[in-house]
Amino acid sequence: MEEKILKPMIINRKVSITLLICFIGYLISDTFFNDVILHLIGGLFGTVSNQIGLGNGFYFIWFVVLLGFVVLFYKIQVKLLKVALIISLWLLLYLIDALLYEIMPDITSKLLRYSHIGLSVLLKSLALGWIHYYGNKE
């Protein structure tokens, strides 16, 4: 009887630790590197979409690649490839920042700037934590 009570607590602790690590990682990168990763990844996808003739398909290509990497992460069982995919997913989730800039384009005030950073860090860490947790579930 005691095992049934403790098992959900262990799962919740794993989820909490995963979300905390994702949150701290995104918070550090967004605070110190201030959209550098977004510009690099966005520039890469913008260039690719222009080269293949989909100038307006920027978000579509980014989203398809993101979904493809999530599916690969769920299917692959090799630890080293999973680590490489989680790092790639960490970068690809900057799509959330790009979408937030579409929703909140004017972030010239400090309050809007910090709310944008906080919201993007929270959303990205929730998404990556969810992907990581369910991708490593046994």
- Percent of the chain past pLDDT 90, that is, above it, reads 4
103 pLDDT higher than 70: yes
| 121 in Cβ contact with 26 (< 8 Å) | yes
Supply 137's token pair.
């579930």
Reported as type and span, the H/E element at residue 130 is helix 110-135
2 pLDDT higher than 60: no
Number of other CB atoms surrounding residue 50 within 10 Å: 13
pTM to 2 decimal places: 0.75
Contacts of 32 (CB under 8 A, 6+ apart): none
What does the DSSP assignment read for 71-116? Answer: HHHHH---HHHHHHHHHHHHHHTTHHHHHHHHHS----SHHHHHHH
Residue 4: pLDDT band (50, 70, 90) is low
Reported as type and span, the H/E element at residue 78 is none
Average pLDDT over all residues of the chain? 79
Pick the residue with more confidence: 4 or 83?
Answer: 83
Supply 88's token pair.
């790639």
24 pLDDT higher than 60: yes
User: Could you report the per-residue pLDDT of 36-91, keeping only the tens digit for each?
Assistant: 887 788 777 777 777 777 767 677 888 888 899 999 988 988 889 888 988 888 88
Number of other CB atoms surrounding residue 4 within 10 Å: 7
7 pLDDT higher than 70: no
> So what's the pLDDT on residue 105?
67
Residue 25: pLDDT band (50, 70, 90) is confident
Residue 9: pLDDT band (50, 70, 90) is very low
> So what's the pLDDT on residue 11?
59
Supply 35's token pair.
């959209």
